[in-house]
Structure 1
Amino acid sequence: SQGAIMALESTQQATLPAHRVVAFAGRFATAPRHAPAGLSVHLIHGDLDNVIAPRFSQEAAQALQALGGQVTHDSVPGLGHGIDATAFGHMVTRLQA
């Protein structure tokens, strides 16, 4: 989750370190101010996460969409705070698209 938060925050920098960001069980530390052109963000979150509430990744996706960003959000049924085969599969699918 900390890595996801850092990755999401990096999208708000003047110089982007990547063109795609995958964030597992994360959130923005502060609300995004813009959605950089040429960047896609993929949020993946377990619906049973009791460490970082799933609503945070949903809110991040909605905020980026409202700013015109290219964003996807996948909720993983039955997953807590972690990564399982389903979450990993979502990542692979999103990165191959």
Structure 2
Amino acid sequence: MTSIEIANTILAQLGGNRFIAMTGAKNFLALTPGLQLDLPKKAHFVKNGITRFCVELTPADTYTIKTWKIRGMNAQLVDTQENVYCDELQSVFTELTGLDTHL
């Protein structure tokens, strides 16, 4: 699979267009292999001030998730979750950010 196909698969597993509408996610970037996206920077919108969410596919066919708080030129790693299975992506996203992925 190409990095674009992997990124599209991850977005679909997160909830696709409903995920985008519910979270306000934007600035999607296909990683090698994975997906990076930005979340709204409004104060108190996202838990712990998280503004960037990265999902990376591992060789074990699980995901490593990293959340970042970015303000200007300062980037701070907030949390890392390893060995996340595809069916856990939505619940882990909600746990880390406080945002629901669907109604």
TM-score normalized with structure 1 length: 0.31
Considering fraction of residues, name the structure with more strand: 2
Q: Which has the higher contact order (CA 8 A, sep 6+)?
A: 1
Q: TM-score, normalised by structure 2?
A: 0.30
